[in-house]
Amino acid sequence: MSEYPVNVFFYGSYMNFAVLKEVDINEREFTVGSISGFALTISPLANLIRQTQGVVYGILTALTHMELERLYQEHARGKLGGQYLPDAVVVSMPNGIHTPALCYISHNMKEGKADPAYIDRILKPAREYGFPAWYLDTIEYFR
């Protein structure tokens, strides 16, 4: 496995560095950004669905392949029960720069009601990062 960091876009609870710390991934540089062509859903875990006019907010950071495997195999699949696979996306940042990144999406998630504590783990950083009010309402909708 490569120790070379790759760009990754987080849109759910992994935007929360307290959650990443549970998997021994320490806080690092990040940039707030968004991706187009998707909409957020939380049922029971955060996920993306394709939607032509959709926009999803999150953060862009860099992790190694070993960290990503630990995060998505051990934590997401093993602890949370969700299988996420990498997709290529283009992240738009407030300064007008666009950059490619991996974004992990589940293509076979069984729907269910989201745990309010899980939603809080997404909503807290979303507020701190200054996401638009309408987007915060979208997250809150899944409560």
**63 Rama sector, left if φ>0, alpha if ψ -120 to 50, beta otherwise:** beta
pLDDT at 13 over 70: yes
Is 99 within 8 Å of 92 (Cβ atoms)?
no
**Amino acid 63: pLDDT:** 96
Q: Can you say how many angstroms the Cα of residue 135 is from the centroid of all Cα atoms in its chain?
A: 14
Which residues contact residue 97 at a Cβ distance below 8 angstroms, ignoring those fewer than 6 apart? none
- C-alpha triplet 114, 17, 50: angle, nearest 5°: 50
pLDDT digits (tens, 9 = 90+) for 21-66: 988 999 899 999 999 999 999 999 999 999 999 999 999 999 999 9
Q: Token digits for 43?
A: 């049922």
Is 131 within 8 Å of 140 (Cβ atoms)?
no
Domains of the chain as residue ranges with CATH: 5-137 (3.10.490.10)
Beta bridge partners, 57, equal: 34
pLDDT at 1 over 70: no
Peptide bond into 5 cis (omega under 30): no
pLDDT digits (tens, 9 = 90+) for 68-121: 988 888 767 666 666 899 999 999 999 999 999 999 999 988 889 999 999 999
